[in-house]
Amino acid sequence: MNIENLQQRLRDKERELLADMTRTEAEARDSRIAEVNDLPVSSESKESWFRETSSDWSVFTQVRDALHRIETGTYGRCVDCGRSIDEARIESLPWTPYCAADERAHEREDASSPL
């Protein structure tokens, strides 16, 4: 596993997400101006903005956490069980904090929790 390469990919993803969130924030600001000027802004647009921002923020947080794990020497280990995370999983999703088994457990918990 090439940590330097993965660290660079994480930094690139961090920059990409910051740019996306900045753009989304500007669009939200523009939509608020439109509302003040009595231009209709659909609730679908607002909902889409909230969904996109929430998703970007979640991944951004995971990326920052992964960079921190690299700095502390814990990168590549599941934050729940401490086992090594499969290299193929890390290559495809370098910010993942969980091994595949614990990821599935979290997905089951999320699916069963009430909205």
Start-to-end CA span in the chain (Å): 38
| Span 48-70, pLDDT tens digits | 555 667 888 999 999 999 999 99
8-53 per-position pLDDT tens digit: 999 999 999 999 988 877 776 666 555 545 555 555 555 555 566 7
C-alpha distances out from residue 79 to 54, 85, 106, 114, Å: 22, 10, 12, 25
pTM confidence score: 0.76
Residues 6+ apart with CB under 8 A from 17: 56, 59, 60, 63
pLDDT digits (tens, 9 = 90+) for 76-95: 999 999 999 999 999 999 99
Domain that holds residue 79: 3-112
Overall number of domains in the chain: 1
**CATH number where 53 lies:** 1.20.120.910
More confident residue, 114 or 44: 114
